[in-house]
Amino acid sequence: MRCSSRLLFLLVAAIVAATAAWADDVPRRKRHITPVSNAAAQTQSINETRNDTARINAARRAASTSYMRDDGFTVYVDTITGEEWVDSTNFKKRNQMKYPLLNGLNVGVNLWDPAMRLFGQKHGLIDFAAEIDMHNRFFPTVEIGLGMADNSPSGSTYTYKSPLSVYAKIGLNYNFLFNKNPDYKFFGGVRYGFSPFSWSVDGITVNSPYWKETATTAIPSQNATAGWFELMAGLRIKLFSNISAGWMIRFHGLLHESKNAHGEPWYIPGYGARGGVLTGSFSVFYTLPLKRRISMAKIEEEIAAEQDAQ
């Protein structure tokens, strides 16, 4: 063996020896030992959660398929048992109205002022009302009337006059007995009224006892406008066929009125005489049915059927 061959042999031997020495310094990994599987360990979690319905339902839904019904609700299907159930989170609150939206149209006449004039009232004439019956609950109302005044109070030295003028009111009645027999209604309501009118005062006599003088004068026709609110409550009952009648007590107050250097008008058409906060109305109504009423029995059947479906 030549010298170079010996050297190569020694170098390889040294490398092998060094590698063996390094390998002895690295810590050896621990061996993994698989525990022995038994029946108790496998069933323990199942037994502990067997009565947890939330977990069970979640598991069932996870194993289910779903589809959307024609009415928009999602229906889940248990692929094992074939059972179906509806996603109730999308249920809308059932409409509690027992009567249709457009339940009727009522037209009426207020006989309060004509009756009061028979008992000496010096103002007012007549007014008419039209209202829409919505669910037998809400009654949007329009009232249009004519008013006038001619008043010479006893012991006074003037004559107050207001020629025939028109007024209008708009508002809403609320029937507290909306799901009851529609032949009986207990109303609360609110109105806004407005009237353009004119007034005058004739035969004004001004006495001055000290100066022993008497002057006569007049306030010529004055144009005016006024707006007011009314809060009301009352009853209405069906008399026969489509005829009903009822009364209302009305609390009212002026909201705005035109200013005048000759004073404030005593009478405002539709509002009445200034000074009083209460007035009333007695009206007779004719009902024009807009839609055939649904019978109570039919409504209850529909509710029961829907509950069964759920």
Task: Give me the phi and psi of 241, to 5 degrees please.
Answer: 45, -125
Q: How far is CA 55 from CA 61, 65, 75, 84, 239, in A?
A: 10, 17, 19, 18, 62
- Considering Cα of 133, then 135, then 140, then 141, what sign does the dihedral take? positive
Residues 39-98 that bind other proteins (CB under 8 A): none
Cβ proximity to other proteins, 90 vs 225, nearer residue: 225
Residues 251/210, Cβ–Cβ less than 8 Å: no
Minimum Å gap between C-beta 226 and other proteins is 15
Residues 244-303 that bind other proteins (CB under 8 A): 249, 251, 261-266, 273-278
Cβ proximity to other proteins, 190 vs 204, nearer residue: 204
Q: Which residues neighbour 161 within 8 Å (Cβ) at sequence distance 6 or greater?
A: 149, 150, 151, 199, 200, 201, 202
Minimum Å gap between C-beta 228 and other proteins is 15
Residues 163-202 that bind other proteins (CB under 8 A): 176, 201
Options 60, 109, 132, 151; binder of other proteins; rule CB under 8 A: 151
Cβ proximity to other proteins, 9 vs 251, nearer residue: 251
3-state DSSP call for residue 180? coil
- DSSP state letters, 123-157: B--EEEEEEEEBTTTEEEEEEEEEEEEEE--TT-S
Segment near other proteins (CB under 8 A), from 24-32, 36-44, 113-121, 207-215?
A: 207-215
Q: Is 153 in the site for other proteins (CB under 8 A)?
A: yes
Cβ proximity to other proteins, 74 vs 152, nearer residue: 152
**Residues in touch with other proteins (CB under 8 A):** 151, 153, 156-158, 160, 176, 201, 204, 206-208, 210-211, 213-215, 217-219, 233, 249, 251, 261-266, 273-278
